[in-house]
Amino acid sequence: MIRTLNGQVIGVNPPQVIVEINGIGYGVYVPLDSFDRLKIGENSFFYIHHHLGEQASDLYGFLDTEQRDFFELLLTVSGVGPKSALAITGSNSVGVLRSAISEGDPAVFRNASGVGTKIAERIIVDLKSKIGLQPGLATGYGEAYEALRGLGYSGPEIKKALNEVPKDLKDTQEQIKAVLKQLARK
């Protein structure tokens, strides 16, 4: 199994680049956010996911291991194939994608080409326990955050409203009341 490639980029045809190594040109699918960092004629190092299917053997290349590992994590979700996983990893930073899973925000995934509501929600359900809560996000808001999520509010709107709650307000019920008042005004 191929895990890395280091060679000269000799062609660019999104979503694929051609990397030449010792006279052999390898077609490598890369996330769209990587194309601005790749230059024809320059050497590049790729962390590879070698996807073996019934009809094809494809290479997916990433400029860092974090993105490759997240791509491989997405492939564990039923209904997410390599093309969708590539679109997702290229749509936002891994940190933003992990936060969206942690906060249960499917809108971030729907921005990727070919990803609808059902797949976005399945990604969140399947991966939430695998990535855990992300530091500094939902965990910082405690019970008030979780209660408001249970009421159907989105993570970003809850965080924005909680940031406007007076810092001396420590009681969870009082925090929830304050946030609900703010959200009702909007």
Q: Which residue matches tokens 């995934």?
A: 109
Return d(Cα 106, Cα 123) in angstroms, integer.
8
How far apart, in whole angstroms, are the C-alpha atoms of residue 97 and residue 17? 24
Peptide bond into 156 cis (omega under 30): no
Instruction: Supply the pLDDT for residue 136.
Output: 42
Can you give the pLDDT at residue 69? Answer: 94
Q: Which residues of the chain have pLDDT under 50?
A: 135-141
Can you tell me the distance from the alpha carbon of 2 to that of 125, in angstroms, rounded to the nearest whole number? 30
β-bridge pairing 24-29 and 43-52: unpaired
Within 13 A of 113's CA, how many CA atoms are on the CB side?
Answer: 8
For residue 25, report the phi and psi dihedrals to the nearest 5 degrees.
-95, 120
Q: What is the pLDDT of residues 58-90, one digit of tens each?
A: 999 999 999 999 999 999 999 999 999 999 999
Give counts: helices (H), strands (E), the chain: 8, 5
